[in-house]
A and B are shown apart, each in its own frame.
Chain A
Amino acid sequence: MGEIGAMKSTVSAGVADNALLRISDLSLAYATPGGAFNEVVRGVDLTLRRGEVLGLVGESGCGKSTTALAAMGYRSPGVRVLGGQVWLGGTDLMSLPLAELRTIWGRKAAFVSQQANLALNPSLRIGQQIADPLRRHMGLRGAALLRRQIELLRRVEIPDPERAIRRYPFEFSGGQQQRIAIAVALSCEPELLILDEPTTGLDATTQAHISVLLGGLVREKGVSVIYVSHDLALLHSIADRIAVMYAGQIVEVGTARAVVTAALHPYTRALMLAAPSLERPGMVSGIPGRPPSSTVKDACAFADRCSQVRDACISADVPLTVSDGGHVVRCLQANERSAAASLLRPLSPAIAGEPVLAVRGLVCTHRNASAPTIRHIDLDLRRGETLGIVGESGSGKSTLLRAIAGLLPPTAGSIEFRGETLAATVSGRPRAQRGELQMVFQNPDSSLNPRHTVRAILSRPLRLFREGLGRSGETAEIERLLDAVQLPRLVLDRRPSELSGGQKQRIAIARAFAARPAVLLCDEITSALDVSVQASILELLGELAAQRGVATIFVSHDLAVVRMLASRTMVMRHGVVLESGPTAELFSAPRHDYTRTLLAAVHDLPRCEVPTQ
């Protein structure tokens, strides 16, 4: 944490203007198939000072990535610039021809996108990919080029850089791929670095490592950074200033401390309440509704999701107002903080009933693997309780779930369900047992059949596991399930591709509950979702499991999520359990060093600063 904090420069909000990048009155639109334009970014003004780290935060679809790309002067295909300029030094990037932008991109301004596994060319050795900008912009060749390639890889802590330059991207882990992408971006020492969610999708420890690395690099090179993220806690520890975006508009800008400790916009406060936190255990609350898909005119865009909405909010555009310390906000009620009670509800203590699942000495070895993925795991699960399993990628936590689900036959050990030994594979288990052990997967895009309607998806488990419901019983049950996961009836005839990520995951949860499970296995079910969506899914899961007395195993790399949901927690690494115990104890007094390392890697919003009023 200390190292990351050092990423912040000494620039403070009041210092005289020495802007490197100035985005002024930028409006962007996507062309729709009908030929009309759908405005997604509206009148954005942002200034990035030299040596500063500016955080840009908001939910998916609020225009932050589009803005970040536009800050490079890049017009994504289908995007039309409705107005505004992007000044880098003395040039307006928006009016530069492509030929001139090519001399700036990679040289003066560099971009690191999310999902490094897609951003690296799968068919080129990574040495080539680092060499390309160096050859192009710096004219490096031969030994000098090789020296620089190796130096860059060493700087981003890729082991054995001399050999690494001859490898292909797929031979590296996700975290290493992102380090390589950072090395490519920094190769020509740019003044401006734009990071678009560079650590999203990586596990907490890898995220922390990369943040530390970035912090060091930024300090060392004096580069100015726009850091796009949906994680306020992360930005709080990394950024000098934070800008909050909603529906294509900037709704709040201020120093990182001011935005987090004295958030003025209800949206910023809602984002904070949606983020699970180690410091304030309690159920998070999602933000009801979804952000609009385009900008909103003549009203506050957040009005329909805001608890403080007044008539004035929906009758005219809300202007940005500046308060003390240069803290800027776009809200009419900013100074009348709501007296709304804290939305944090204490978790109802889980009452653990009779034992349902017992795993003894479980060992799993993947095909062609030299060592077992999990080694001698024991666990017990009681009715109504939630067991959290945390660990980095590769710790074996998903393998354990798959073995329990019968998707991966174990090499040794036993799994008992209500005192009966379960068959190794799901096909060997009687139908009733299959219904009672249900699993929800990480990615609903691949776990829901894209050709089936929601109705078909939900009726299948009912027919398989709840025979005798009849046609009308089935319809009634499907409707009950939809109500339980808080989705409207009209999704019934839609296919997964027509639903949002959060809606799809709700369907996956409803499908699991349709079978009336006794044990629910959840594998990173919220890691692909936005914080606000994650919050509502977690709320939902907590309620459903408690109501129905379902025992849940919840696997996640997000410690704060596990802290919130689980009554007991297991910490795994390299296929073994390092520590397990009641969640509150384990988090407040970790006994294993590794648990302490994991906890230290978590970015958290400070305790005293939660806007509960």
Chain B
Amino acid sequence: MTAKKITEFLAHLRGAPGQRVVLSRLGFALATLLLMSLITFAATSIAPEDVARNALGREVTQGQVELFIHDKGLDRPFAVRYAEWLAGAATGDFGVSAVTGRDVRADVMPRLGNTVVLALLALVIGVPLSLGVAVYMALRMGGWQDVSLLAGTTVLTALPEFVTGMGLVLLFGVTLGWLPIDSTALLFGSAFDNLSAYVLPVTTMVLVTAPYTIRIARSSICESLASAHTRAAILNGLSRRRILWAYAVLPAATPIINTLALNLVYLISGVVVIENVFNFPGIGRRLVEAITTGDTYTVQAVALLMGAMFIIINLAADLMAAYVNPRLRAR
């Protein structure tokens, strides 16, 4: 009976390539997440003594260390500890930090919220901006506007995020004094303070990621503009707007979406640097704090969350690429 149901289900999936793609990607994402959780846990707490010494600091006796290990159950086998931790993590319970004495979840979640808002703002501003600039450049391919923008994006791509960030701080925060150089205000400031606290970090993120997207999108759209199907659309007398978006940009979307995903993934690691430049109270800065204070549980939680974000973004990009590229859907 069950076997029959499974065969029926598989047959149904064969008939629906789109669903099959979604399910296979989803399964792959879950497997990756599980593997990543194992690596994260193993890397941070395979040696119980390190966990204890990190939490207790240098000036401790062997007895204190052993007591800590016994108290926290670190003397049990690795597999048991991992299973217990994973079960907790699955429900959002990362335990109580041995360093701060607070619940890790309650500590990390608001920070995660701030970072997500930061990344989303960068995305919402960065994507239309990149696409618009790329289309503008592609339509003027080889012209002076295209060439100068291309040079500009090359320079920006070459700059590391802390240089771009520091440059913006110096210009807008110090020289002009328009914007706060420090985003700590987010934790307690007014609505206006909150908003201005986001401006420089978001600008930095856009400046760091957009140039690369622009370059990829530009060359992809240029290629598409010169293609036989765009010429066919022109020779069918279609409107400029229809030709541009449906015949030039849409078929060029797959590489652009993949680049966006790479960028977002980069943003997650770049966020660590950017948040520290601006003292932005996000998950990246919390990670650095936790590492310096030897707060193993918080490091585990943040690492797992960042990894999950990686995987979710890649999954979303894969599904979106499949959505705009019918060929990928069929595979």
Residues on A close to B: CB < 8 A? 72, 74, 77, 101-107, 110-111, 113, 115, 118-124, 128, 132-133, 136-137, 168, 170-171, 181, 184-185
Indicate if B117 sits at the interface (CB-CB under 8 A): no
Q: Contact check, A106 vs B250: say whether CB atoms are below 8 A apart.
A: no
Q: Contact check, A105 vs B235: say whether CB atoms are below 8 A apart.
A: yes
How far, in angstroms, from A137 to B239 measured CA to CA in the complex?
10
Nearest Cβ on chain A to B11's Cβ, whole angstroms:
13
Q: Contact check, A184 vs B236: say whether CB atoms are below 8 A apart.
A: yes
Q: Which residue of B lies closest to A181 (CB)?
A: B232
Q: Contact check, B238 vs A133: say whether CB atoms are below 8 A apart.
A: yes
In the complex, what residues of A have CB within 8 A of residue B250's CB? 121, 123-124
Q: Contact check, B235 vs A74: say whether CB atoms are below 8 A apart.
A: yes
Q: Contact check, A119 vs B326: say whether CB atoms are below 8 A apart.
A: no
For window 310-331 of B, CB contacts with A under 8 Å fall at 324-327, 330
How far, in angstroms, from A112 to B236 measured CA to CA in the complex?
10
Q: Which of B229, B234, B250, B251 has the most CB of A within 10 A?
A: B229
Q: Contact check, A103 vs B231: say whether CB atoms are below 8 A apart.
A: no
Given A77-B226, A115-B228, A170-B327, are A123 and B237 neighbors across the interface (CB < 8 Å)? no
Q: Contact check, A72 vs B235: say whether CB atoms are below 8 A apart.
A: yes
Q: Contact check, B242 vs A118: say whether CB atoms are below 8 A apart.
A: no
Please tell me which one of the listed residues A74, A77, A105, A123 contacts residue B325 in the complex, with CB atoms under 8 A apart: A123
Indicate if B7 sits at the interface (CB-CB under 8 A): no
For window 256-274 of B, CB contacts with A under 8 Å fall at none
How far, in angstroms, from A121 to B251 measured CA to CA in the complex?
7
Q: Contact check, B239 vs A118: say whether CB atoms are below 8 A apart.
A: no
Q: Which residue of B lies closest to A194 (CB)?
A: B235
Q: Contact check, B327 vs A102: say whether CB atoms are below 8 A apart.
A: no
Q: Contact check, B236 vs A105: say whether CB atoms are below 8 A apart.
A: yes
Indicate if B246 sits at the interface (CB-CB under 8 A): yes
Show 10 residue pairs from A and B whose CB-CB distance is below 8 angstroms, ordered by the A residue: A105-B237, A106-B235, A122-B327, A123-B251, A123-B253, A123-B326, A170-B326, A170-B330, A171-B330, A181-B232
Nearest Cβ on chain A to B132's Cβ, whole angstroms:
20
In the complex, what residues of A have CB within 8 A of residue B324's CB? 123
Q: Contact check, B232 vs A120: say whether CB atoms are below 8 A apart.
A: yes
Q: Contact check, A132 vs B233: say whether CB atoms are below 8 A apart.
A: yes
Residues on B close to A: CB < 8 A? 226-229, 231-239, 242, 246-247, 250-251, 253, 324-327, 330
Q: Contact check, B246 vs A106: say whether CB atoms are below 8 A apart.
A: no
How far, in angstroms, from A484 to B239 measured CA to CA in the complex?
54
In the complex, what residues of B have CB within 8 A of residue A120's CB? 229, 232
How far, in angstroms, from A588 to B20 measured CA to CA in the complex?
52
How far, in angstroms, from A181 to B236 measured CA to CA in the complex?
11
Given A121-B229, A123-B325, are A105 and B330 neighbors across the interface (CB < 8 Å)? no
Q: Which residue of B lies closest to A101 (CB)?
A: B237
How far, in angstroms, from A124 to B330 measured CA to CA in the complex?
15
In the complex, what residues of A have CB within 8 A of residue B239's CB? 102, 136
Q: Contact check, A121 vs B238: say whether CB atoms are below 8 A apart.
A: no
Please tell me which one of the listed residues A74, A128, A168 contacts residue B234 in the complex, with CB atoms under 8 A apart: A74
In the complex, what residues of B have CB within 8 A of residue A123's CB? 250-251, 253, 324-326
How far, in angstroms, from A133 to B228 measured CA to CA in the complex?
17
How far, in angstroms, from A102 to B253 measured CA to CA in the complex?
26
In the complex, what residues of B have CB within 8 A of residue A105's CB? 234-237
In the complex, what residues of B have CB within 8 A of residue A168's CB? 326-327
Q: Contact check, A118 vs B253: say whether CB atoms are below 8 A apart.
A: no
Please tell me which one of the listed residues A102, A119, A122 contacts residue B237 in the complex, with CB atoms under 8 A apart: A102
Q: Contact check, B234 vs A119: say whether CB atoms are below 8 A apart.
A: no
Nearest Cβ on chain A to B67's Cβ, whole angstroms:
61
Q: Contact check, B233 vs A118: say whether CB atoms are below 8 A apart.
A: no
Nearest Cβ on chain B to A452's Cβ, whole angstroms:
26
In the complex, what residues of B have CB within 8 A of residue A118's CB? 227-229
Q: Contact check, B232 vs A111: say whether CB atoms are below 8 A apart.
A: yes
Given A111-B232, A170-B330, are A121 and B237 neighbors across the interface (CB < 8 Å)? no
In the complex, what residues of A have CB within 8 A of residue B231's CB? 74, 113, 119
In the complex, what residues of A have CB within 8 A of residue B232's CB? 111, 113, 119-121, 181, 184
In the complex, what residues of A have CB within 8 A of residue B228's CB? 113, 115, 118-119
How far, in angstroms, from A513 to B227 measured CA to CA in the complex?
37
Q: Which residue of B lies closest to A118 (CB)?
A: B228
Given A77-B226, A113-B228, A115-B228, are A122 and B233 neighbors across the interface (CB < 8 Å)? no
Q: Contacts A136-B242, A184-B236 given; 5 further ones with Cβ under 8 A? A: A72-B235, A111-B232, A133-B237, A133-B238, A184-B232
In the complex, what residues of B have CB within 8 A of residue A181's CB? 232
How far, in angstroms, from A104 to B238 measured CA to CA in the complex?
10
In the complex, what residues of A have CB within 8 A of residue B253's CB? 123
Given A120-B232, A123-B251, are A107 and B327 neighbors across the interface (CB < 8 Å)? no
Please tell me which one of the listed residues A77, A103, A111, A171 contacts residue B235 in the complex, with CB atoms under 8 A apart: A111
Q: Contact check, B235 vs A110: say whether CB atoms are below 8 A apart.
A: yes
How far, in angstroms, from A110 to B235 measured CA to CA in the complex?
7
How far, in angstroms, from A530 to B179 measured CA to CA in the complex?
67
6 nearest interchain CB pairs?
A106-B236, A105-B237, A106-B237, A118-B228, A168-B326, A111-B235
In the complex, what residues of A have CB within 8 A of residue B237's CB? 101-107, 133, 136-137
Please tell me which one of the listed residues A110, A115, A124, A171 contacts residue B236 in the complex, with CB atoms under 8 A apart: A110
Nearest Cβ on chain A to B126's Cβ, whole angstroms:
23
Nearest Cβ on chain B to A86's Cβ, whole angstroms:
14
In the complex, what residues of A have CB within 8 A of residue B327's CB? 122, 168, 170
Q: Which residue of A lies closest to B232 (CB)?
A: A119
Q: Contact check, A122 vs B251: say whether CB atoms are below 8 A apart.
A: yes
In the complex, what residues of A have CB within 8 A of residue B236's CB? 105-106, 110, 132-133, 136, 184-185
In the complex, what residues of A have CB within 8 A of residue B330's CB? 170-171
How far, in angstroms, from A171 to B331 measured CA to CA in the complex?
12
In the complex, what residues of B have CB within 8 A of residue A103's CB? 237
In the complex, what residues of B have CB within 8 A of residue A133's CB? 236-238
